[in-house]
Structure 1
Amino acid sequence: MVRFAENEVNPNVIQAGKPIFQEIKGHWNQKQFENENPIVVELACGRGEFTVGLGREYRDQNFIGVDIKGSRIWKGSSIATAEGLTNVAFLRTQIQNLDQFFAEGEISELWITFPDPFPRDGDEKRRLTSPRFLDMYKPMIKSTGIVHFKTDNTGLFNYTLELLQSREDIELIAFTSDFYQSDMKDDHHGIKTKYEKLFSDKGEKIKYLKFRFKTS
């Protein structure tokens, strides 16, 4: 497919088969962005609407969208290339392998946007806000770094909120069960992913929270 062929040559796509894929951990600023600006990562970025949107708003920060679907990443990569957004890149990998690509303290901010809720109890470990994933994120994020979480799924939101409130190593900064009626909505500059727009148009309330890991 043309999309996959373009991913192989687009410098803003980091994926298996490229030398940088094996070398990037701990070197995103030097090898990809060629600056020392803060690194912001979006997990399960899909078509990259949010990653690209943030890149437009904050030219003094670097943004990386992570997803396994090459056809989705291609969309965001192409838009970033067309707009000359050199502060936007995409990493194609499974999220459970994230620690293979980011060194300790390399991430300044993390976004988890509309992930699969995996509603069955037996699938808890697959949720991107489960203890397994939280423990993986913690070393990669700077001590002052913030983690953002947005979802339309009430079950996943309540699960995440209860989990965060039960952990002594986490400081819950703010949360809302109706993001667009909250005083935090302007912080996101009206940037909506395809799925967020779909859910909003159906009348679903968007839930949002942010937290940080406490330093020991």
Structure 2
Amino acid sequence: MRLRNKAGASEELLQHPTIIIQNAESRKGKWHDVFGNNNPIHIEVGTGKGKFLTGMSELHPDINYIGVEKYDSVIISALERIQEAGMPNFKLLNEDVINLTSYFEQGELDQVYINFTDPWPKNRHEKRRLTHERFLRMYEQVMKKNGEIHFKTDNQALFEYSLHSFSKYGMILNNVSLDLHKSDIEGNIMTEYEEKFSRKGMRIYRCEAQFR
């Protein structure tokens, strides 16, 4: 999918340093200071326009959320959501997830969300999938012991691949759902893509994977 550039997006992001955190490397190990509390820290990798974390922030004000999104033209929409709702427990990083260990200290995070990520269906692109082993190693490094990944997708092949990847890595699988919206899982917050796909009657797959 080609992303449309938003004129002036890069400049606008710089005008809100208390929400779009600059010089993320300097915050490594100090994220509780950024939020001004010792609440758990959850991140979403590829946060898109921020609908999911906006909902989560409202539902759980005692948790700190960070959305990681590398595209200026997308993260600007998440910024607008935060400004409109006024959420002190929701910050944004305009960075690439591949550099996650540069921004977070070992054991600094409690939970990671991966929602409707690019499936990269070609075998030669396997290492780009956010549930590939190389990313799992990175998540484990920055998360506390027994930290969890919550994963949602509309892509059955990616879901099957991810379950295998989690299991092969030695993670514990919980709450595996092959049709989320017909399950008894409570408290689900939908993303923009999830709303779009569910309106079309598409099945949503979800699981929780816990590091040992």
Q: TM-score range by the shorter chain?
A: over 0.9
Structure 1 counterpart of 2:68: 66
Q: 1:144 aligns with which of 139, 143, 146?
A: 146
Note the C-alpha offset of 1:166. 2.6
Deviations 1:5-53 (A, max 9, x none): 2210212002xxx4x43311111111x2111111010011100111111
Structure 2 counterpart of 1:5: 11
- Structure 1 stretch 60-69 or stretch 71-80: which is displaced more? 71-80
Q: In 2, Cα distance between the equivalents of 1:118 and 1:167?
A: 20
Q: In 2, Cα distance between the equivalents of 1:166 and 1:95?
A: 22
Note the C-alpha offset of 1:83. 1.8
Structure 1 counterpart of 2:31: 28
SS at match of 1:128: coil
Q: In 2, Cα distance between the equivalents of 1:25 and 1:133?
A: 18
- Structure 1 stretch 155-164 or stretch 114-123: which is displaced more? 155-164
Structure 1 counterpart of 2:121: 119
Deviations 1:147-193 (A, max 9, x none): 1000000000001112222333x111221110111111x222xx221
Counterpart of 2:187 in structure 1: which amino acid?
D
Q: In 1, Cα distance between the equivalents of 2:169 and 2:101?
A: 21
Note the C-alpha offset of 1:197. 1.2
Note the C-alpha offset of 1:145. 1.9
Counterpart of 1:13 in structure 2: which amino acid?
I
Counterpart of 2:14 in structure 1: which amino acid?
E
Note the C-alpha offset of 1:3. 3.1
Structure 1 counterpart of 2:3: none
Deviations 1:51-95 (A, max 9, x none): 111111111110011110112111111221222201001111111
CA RMSD of superposed structures (Å): 1.3
Structure 2 counterpart of 1:88: 90
Note the C-alpha offset of 1:144. 3.2
Q: In 2, Cα distance between the equivalents of 1:122 and 1:141?
A: 28
* CA spacing shift, 1:22–1:165, aligned 2, 3 Å: closer
Structure 2 counterpart of 1:200: 198
* TM-score computed with the length of structure 1 as normaliser: 0.91
The answer to whether residue 172 in structure 2 is matched with residue 171 in structure 1 is: yes
Percent of pairs with identical residues:
35
Give unpaired runs (5+ residues) of structure 2: 1-6
Residues 153 and 159, structure 2, Cα contact 8 Å, conserved in 1: yes
Structure 2 counterpart of 1:211: 209
